Chains A and B, each alone.
Chain A
């Protein structure tokens, strides 16, 4: 009895402590202090620094630098700087964005959202092209080039004729096709009022049928391990459910055998050659792989490399220029191919330093690698994919 009384006391203590804890404010943390007058951290931003970074453009045109451009000039700049991804007529190559057309498709299944059909402000086009394009070479367009490209995009959308002169003075008042196509987030009225309600817990429906199965059975890497294997089983039948439970048990599903990773895959494309001739080379290759990031936007290399906006680069050294099957070369490279010119070290070095100097008329928009060390490194990296 004494033991029981002792236990009861202990329980009372524990309960009292719990009550005390529960009564405490939920949080002991306080927000970071903000003294009046601040901390005196940072330094004044200089006017030329602000000018260098503060280049965004507002819908009313504020922020635009002086300049002008028309579709006629724009066609040439676009062909040179944009067409490799967006197509000569802004129609889009592969999965890259289509910039023209798609008018009156926004209410359809799979609407075509282009600059012409969807973008509400022209300022956005100028701002984005100027700051973020071309892909892999952002921030290199002059204001006039940008006005010209934007004019060409408008022209390819039939929004202006080829004599229209786009300038910093008329851009902010240009009326885009879909300018009235947007409403400010209205979920709180349109949705929350209905969905802030106690949900159903029982007998919410009479029966439930499976109406759709997953379409894309995503492949996982062979090395993924058993637990990451996507379920690529296909059941012959599916149950329907009632309040009494499933009414149909499907036939047993045949186990799908794990596919052995195929061995011929590695032979199809040149494997990475391990640089075994000393640390200098392997360091060069590692450095070259980093430099190659600048090329990746347009060029693929390695197993399964395909032509993108630039040709695939496997075994490019020793190959005749302009000779990759299925790639649409510029006239300049077609001529080099006819002449039988071959990619060797000096040719590649010169090309990488100044593409347009080496091959006048190339579609490659890349301005060139400034550092000789980068050229050496990237060449060493490319060579690991065959010579």
Chain B
């Protein structure tokens, strides 16, 4: 039968559409309104000190739109005008300085794409398969193109003591005054004082007007609403670097200063929120890979729970410390699959299984779970979060 969508004149082919003056700043078309951040209510005591998740199951490519990039704040997102913004640099410096927002924009700037991953991403999965959706198991991540000033330029401007045993303590302007200590070597390397993401001003929830970008390192260090940089002779050991963001091992001791996010990957489609709906035939398996140590050099995919692996096709050359998209293009015969992906980075590190991680760390680490994820896809194309032997 002929398709009436083709044979009959449709409204949109006859009436006029929306004028250019109706939407000065656009939102996605209403048919995409399900592609939104979501939170998990029982995770935290209050949504003000909480986290939500990027809908990575519904995105492709590598850049995360700001409007659906996950948020985590410890005391709520604040509204801070550029005019009211002050950045202080003090401590072991020749000249303690105060910069206005306008001052920051007068330093030479750089552009870089980096992923930002919360240390707790996949943290709920330590004890077993828990949340049935990649948005919830892996959605504490986003990837944006940042415009900003290298932190070393500001340190230099203030005449900071940049010897290698010094630390830089960074602090936010919100009520939680999140503060983290960064060793000088990293501060001088690739840390950015950023004010734009994906070409436009940062969103309030991502630290407008200025945030820190600490490539490859856990998201908590990317201090938002950055208000102070202090050069110190030792780590401050603030709440967020002692009582939180430390990793308890099986014997009860804990690792501290676990800053780097190790190589990790996940298949975003098919996945529990993104089942196969088209039946047998051509199927695109799509996923994301990243490493805080540098470039993703290879991603392998298994369809049988890790018995055999094939090397996936990368969407494009992996950027350093940024998300890399991978694909496996296959003909699906309708047989059930246990889908897994395994990332390798430029250091030769290969993403471990959950068993390997548990052997080293036990199940109480909360943070830094970069295990291989398994989706069970049944004959109908429905996917579920499982663990396998």
Residues of A near any B CB (own CB < 8 A): 29, 31-34, 38-39, 41-45, 49-50, 53-54, 56-59, 85, 94-96, 104, 106-111, 113, 115, 118-121, 123-124, 127-128, 131-132, 135-136, 138-139, 181-187, 190-192, 195-218, 220-221, 223-233, 235, 238-239, 241-243, 245-246, 249-250, 252-253, 293, 296-297, 308
Contact between chains at B75 and A135 (CB < 8 Å)? yes
Contact between chains at A49 and B97 (CB < 8 Å)? no
Contact between chains at B364 and A56 (CB < 8 Å)? no
Known: A31-B110, A181-B254, A201-B308. A211 touches B387 (CB 8 A): yes
Known: A39-B157, A220-B38, A253-B378. A32 touches B108 (CB 8 A): yes
List 5 A-B residue pairs with CB atoms under 8 Å apart, sorted by A's residue number: A53-B88, A135-B175, A185-B255, A213-B386, A250-B379
Chain A interface mostly helix, strand, loop or mixed? loop
User: B250 contacts which chain A residues (CB < 8 A)?
Assistant: 107
**Does B284 have its Cβ within 8 Å of any Cβ on chain A?**
no
**A38: shortest Cβ distance to chain B, in Å?**
4
Contact between chains at A250 and B336 (CB < 8 Å)? yes
**Does B332 have its Cβ within 8 Å of any Cβ on chain A?**
no
Contact between chains at B308 and A218 (CB < 8 Å)? no
Interface string of B150-171 (1 = CB under 8 A from A): 1011001111000000000101
Contact between chains at B109 and A210 (CB < 8 Å)? no
Question: Roughly how many angstroms separate A382 CA and B56 CA in the complex, as a whole number?
Answer: 36
Known: A42-B98, A111-B252, A199-B344. A235 touches B378 (CB 8 A): yes
User: B98 contacts which chain A residues (CB < 8 A)?
Assistant: 42-45, 49
Contact between chains at B103 and A242 (CB < 8 Å)? no
Contact between chains at A183 and B108 (CB < 8 Å)? no
Question: Roughly how many angstroms separate A198 CA and B342 CA in the complex, as a whole number?
Answer: 12
Known: A107-B250, A184-B255, A239-B336. A121 touches B237 (CB 8 A): yes
User: A225 contacts which chain B residues (CB < 8 A)?
Assistant: 31, 33-34
Known: A56-B236, A215-B129. A41 touches B40 (CB 8 A): no
User: A196 contacts which chain B residues (CB < 8 A)?
Assistant: 347-350
Question: Roughly how many angstroms separate A153 CA and B11 CA in the complex, as a whole number?
Answer: 69
Q: Which 6 A-B pairs have the closest CB atoms?
A: A225-B34, A107-B252, A106-B252, A95-B45, A208-B305, A32-B108
Contact between chains at B33 and A208 (CB < 8 Å)? no
Contact between chains at B388 and A227 (CB < 8 Å)? no
Given A132-B239, A218-B40, list of 17 further CB < 8 A pairs? A41-B99, A41-B157, A42-B98, A45-B90, A120-B237, A197-B348, A200-B309, A201-B309, A202-B308, A210-B338, A211-B388, A213-B129, A221-B38, A239-B336, A243-B307, A249-B335, A308-B46
Question: Roughly how many angstroms separate A40 CA and B204 CA in the complex, as a whole number?
Answer: 29
Known: A53-B227, A208-B304. A32 touches B239 (CB 8 A): no
Question: Roughly how many angstroms separate A296 CA and B276 CA in the complex, as a whole number?
Answer: 41
Residues of B near any A CB (own CB < 8 A): 31, 33-35, 38, 40, 42, 44-46, 48-49, 55, 57-58, 74-76, 88-91, 95-100, 103, 106-111, 127-133, 136, 149-150, 152-153, 156-159, 169, 171, 175-177, 179, 227-228, 230, 232, 234, 236-239, 242-243, 246, 248, 250-260, 262, 272-275, 300, 304-310, 335-338, 342, 344, 347-352, 356, 360, 363-364, 376, 378-380, 382-389
User: B364 contacts which chain A residues (CB < 8 A)?
Assistant: 109-111
**A138: shortest Cβ distance to chain B, in Å?**
4
User: A192 contacts which chain B residues (CB < 8 A)?
Assistant: 347, 349
**A206: shortest Cβ distance to chain B, in Å?**
8
Question: Roughly how many angstroms separate A216 CA and B42 CA in the complex, as a whole number?
Answer: 11
Of the candidates A44, A186, A249, A308, the one whose C-beta lies within 8 Å of that of B95 is A44
Of all chain A residues, the one with the shortest Cβ separation from B46 is: A297
Question: Roughly how many angstroms separate A213 CA and B297 CA in the complex, as a whole number?
Answer: 31
Of all chain A residues, the one with the shortest Cβ separation from B173 is: A53
User: Residue among A56, A106, A226 with the most chain B CB within 10 A?
Assistant: A56
User: A41 contacts which chain B residues (CB < 8 A)?
Assistant: 99, 103, 106-107, 157
User: A202 contacts which chain B residues (CB < 8 A)?
Assistant: 308-309
Known: A45-B98, A120-B242. A242 touches B33 (CB 8 A): no
Known: A41-B103, A42-B103, A208-B304. A138 touches B243 (CB 8 A): no
User: A38 contacts which chain B residues (CB < 8 A)?
Assistant: 156-157, 159
**A35: shortest Cβ distance to chain B, in Å?**
9
Of all chain B residues, the one with the shortest Cβ separation from A114 is: B243
Contact between chains at A39 and B338 (CB < 8 Å)? no
